[in-house]
Amino acid sequence: MSAVSKLTTVPARSTFSVPVWLLALVALVLLAVPIFVQNKFIIYLATEALCWALAAAALDLLVGYLGLTPLGHIAMWGLGGYTVAILLGAGVPLPLALVASIVIAALYSAITAPLALRAGGIFFLMITLAFAQMTYTLADKWTALTGGTDGLTFRSGLQPLELYFLTVILTGVSLFLLGRLVTSPFGRVLEAIHQNENRARALGYPVFAYKYGAVLIASGFIGLAGALAALHREIVTPSDMFWLHSAIMLIMVLLGGARSLWGPVIGAVLYITVQSYVSSQTDLWAGIVGLLLIVLVLTGRGGLWSLIERRRA
Q: Where are the domains of the chain?
A: 18-242
d(CA 153, CA 156): 10
d(CA 219, CA 174): 13
User: Which of 8-12, 140-144, 174-178, 191-195 is predicted with the least confidence, judged by mean pLDDT?
Assistant: 8-12
CA dihedral 22, 24, 30, 33 (to 10 degrees): -110
At residue 14, the pLDDT reads 42
| Burial class, 294, CB count within 10 angstroms (exposed 0-12 / middle 13-18 / buried 19+) | exposed
What is the enclosing helix (H) or strand (E) of 172?
helix 160-182
User: How many Cβ atoms sit within 10 Å of the Cβ of residue 94?
Assistant: 16
- Strands 235-236 vs 152-153: parallel, antiparallel or unpaired: antiparallel
| pLDDT interval class at 100 (50, 70, 90) | very high
pLDDT at 78 over 60: yes
The sign one gets for the Cα dihedral 26, 30, 32, 37 is positive
Measure CA of the first residue to CA of the last residue in the chain; give whole Å: 33
* Choice between 291 and 21, residue whose per-residue pLDDT is larger: 291
Q: For 106-245, where are the E strands, in sequence order?
A: 152-153, 235-236
Residues whose CB falls within 8 Å of the CB of residue 220, separated by 6 or more in sequence, listed in order: 58, 102, 103, 105, 106
| pLDDT interval class at 278 (50, 70, 90) | confident
| Core vs surface per residue 181-198: b (16+ CB within 10 A) or e | bbeeeebbbbbbbbeebe
Residue 152, SS3 per DSSP = strand
| Burial class, 229, CB count within 10 angstroms (exposed 0-12 / middle 13-18 / buried 19+) | buried
At residue 25, the pLDDT reads 67
| pLDDT interval class at 1 (50, 70, 90) | very low
At residue 185, the pLDDT reads 93
d(CA 134, CA 294): 32
d(CA 306, CA 303): 5
pLDDT tens digits for range 206-237: 999 999 999 999 999 999 999 999 999 999 99
DSSP annotation string for 215-269: HHHHHHHHHHHHHHHHHHHTEE-GGGG-THHHHHHHHHHHHH-TTSSHHHHHHHH
Answering whether pTM is above 0.85, one says yes
The Cα angle at residue 219 between residues 215 and 223, in degrees rounded to 5: 180
Q: Residues 31, 43: contact at Cβ < 8 Å?
A: no
At residue 186, the pLDDT reads 94
